Structure 1
């Protein structure tokens, strides 16, 4: 619930279609939005596509030092952060268990888990102090039904879920804040449909629906959200 002022919301993974849709929806809901990506030109283009007022920022979220610098930049210009919508993704798979590579594991651990750890550690105090503090990450239905081919991906996502639930337990101790997990089979956007018109993407969640769910976090009481896995797949 809103603290009576425009909320400051950070959208990580802001360069992709889900980040653009979420940043746009949050901005249209009246929030101040910071879209974060690792590539300067890409995040600037994405912020422009999301709409006027979305602020692009560059950060390697796998670097704790860079995330601390990101926090300092936002704090200096806008004050406390009220929400973080974490949309950093990436997938790698193999044929089975024996050919799961260390390189793929390092990539997935860095993207799926290390970024969640860094962002929540750095922004936790801001979110806990907010009257509407919200943290959300996106996970996959693969965590509940992992395959041998996707073992590393599912394991990294499961670890990120466990970390997020630990954040939720921290928020449960006398705060108005909530940490949630959005669960989706996969995300789809207009570009994907245009590139593969023959596909129906069964069970996939449109990025506009993810964006609407993110906006809804800030008008739903924390007690109804904290620690929940919110299934978005149809």
Structure 2
């Protein structure tokens, strides 16, 4: 029996990091078609050389018009997207609450902005897919925020809220259509991604085999 993700088209948003590479490898081994979107063409080219068979797109995911154009390009070249793993992130913090500067916040906020643009552009794809899946990487800091990481925790909390809203949209679309749920949005919380890259990749691949109605709106904590 083939893997449930086999043949599915998956977008890795901001996927040039180590976890993006592991996810691209795991997905291609399982038979998925993979498109990696990111802003650095050199990193994308290096990833494509390391993981044969993937497609790459250079795009600023914080630019709404650019993401709309990306969706059109992906549809034309590859078809409708079945899954998105949101990997746009980063860390800035420290210095207690007084150290939570606006410039740091604006840098961190790009992750939420990219998530909003990407999910809106590909939302109809995920709803229509027989196995639509969205996962984002969040932090255990959301449940226990520290003063020195308040900006970071606030952005992650907002990103989780957005993802849960997407999950509600998936559930409503299925109810309105009078059909069983086929799409799920999930939050993966980690304390740190270091050492968990393969686990995150495996969890995302496994998501395609999970029952959509059970998986939708789940918060899954991953640890070593």
SS of 2:98's equivalent in the other structure is coil
Query: Which residue does 1:202 correspond to in 2?
Result: none
Instruction: Determine if the alignment matches structure 1 residue 12 to structure 2 residue 2.
Output: no
Structure 2: segments with no counterpart, 5+ residues: 175-180
CA drift of 1:99 comes to: 2.3
Aligned with 2:56: secondary structure?
Answer: strand
Secondary structure of 2:208's counterpart equals helix
Corresponding residue for 2:213?
Answer: 223
Q: Does 1:156 align with 2:155?
A: yes
Instruction: Report SS of the residue matched to 2:57.
Output: strand
- Among 183, 187, 199, the alignment partner of 1:181 is 187
TM-score, normalised relative to structure 2? 0.93
> Which residue does the alignment assign to 2:164?
165
Q: Note if 1:138 corresponds to 2:137.
A: yes
Q: Which residue of 2 aligns with 1:233?
A: 223
Matched, 1:95 2:95: yes
Q: Contact between 1:95 and 1:149, CA under 8 Å: does it hold in 2? A: yes
Name stretches of at least 5 consecutive residues in structure 1 with no aligned partner: 190-205
Aligned length: 215
Moved over 3 A (4+): none
TM-score, scaled to structure 1 = 0.89
Determine the C-alpha separation between the residues in 2 that align with 1:30 and 1:2.
9
**Contact 1:16–1:46 (CA<8 Å) still a contact in 2?**
no
**Distance (whole Å) between structure 2 residues aligned to residue 48 and residue 154 of structure 1:** 35
Residues 10 and 83 of structure 1 are in contact (CA less than 8 Å); yes or no, is this contact kept in structure 2? yes
2: distance between equivalents of 1:215 and 1:18? 13
Q: CA RMSD in A?
A: 1.4
